[in-house]
Amino acid sequence: MEEYSQISAFGKVLIFLIMGIVFVMLAFITNKIIAPNKPNPEKNSSYECGEEVIGSSWIQFNSRFYVIALIFLLFDVEMVFIFPWATVFSDANLIAQDQRWGWLSFTEMLIFISILLLGLVYVWRKKDLDWIKPVLKLPTVDTKIPLSAYQAINEEKYQPGLKNKQLENSLIVQENNIETENIKPKFVPRFKKS
C-alpha cells in the first residue's frame, strides 16, 4: 500500500527554512534579553587588533589592493571549476562510450580558459596589475651643511659602547676643567611673605 504525503519535497524545504529563521530570531531575542547592555566610550570605539586607534578610519586606500584581490579571486574560482572538469575528462569509461564526450569537454575547457586569459590580458593591458612604485625624492633644504656630510653619517658603522666611552671620557675632562670657586646659583628662590 502506497503512502501519500501531504507535504511535497519543496514544502519540506520551506518548513526547514522557516524553522531556521525562527531559531536564528529566537537566538537574537534571547541575546537581547539576557546580555548586559552597559555601553561606554571604550566599548564603542573601533577595535584595531588590540592597538589604540590613531587618527580617523576614513583614510584613502589604494584601489589596486581591491583589484588584485578580485583578480586573485577570479583565478581561484577558475581552479574550482577546473578540478571537477579534470575528474570527468579523465574518466576512461565515459570517453569509451562515446569519443565525442572527450572532445566536447576539452573544447569547453579551452573556451573557458581562453575567456579567463582574455580577461587577464585586458587587465594587464589596462595596467591594473602594475604596482605603484615609490619614487625616490631627495629632500631639499636651505642649509650650509653639504650633502656629503649626511652621507658620511649614514655610512658610518655603529659600534655600541665605543661612543658611550668617548662621551664619558669627554664629560670627565669637562668636569675636571670646571672651576668650583666661581660657581654661582642660577636660580635664587624667593618666597612670598604671608
Does residue 98 sit within a domain? yes
**Which residues of the chain fall below pLDDT 70?**
1-5, 48, 53, 57, 158-187, 189, 194
Domain extent for 120: 63-125
pLDDT of residue 15: 93
> What's the chain's length in residues?
194
C-alpha cell at 159: 659600534
Count of domains forming the chain: 1
Query: pLDDT tens across 164-188, in order?
Result: 666 666 656 555 555 555 666 666 7
The residues, ordered by sequence, that sit 6+ positions from 46 with a Cβ below 8 Å of its Cβ are 53, 57
Residue type, 49: C
Say if residues 6 and 17 touch (Cβ distance below 8 Å).
Answer: no
Does residue 180 sit within a domain? no
Does residue 68 sit within a domain? yes
Query: pLDDT tens across 38-67, in order?
Result: 888 877 777 767 777 677 767 777 777 787
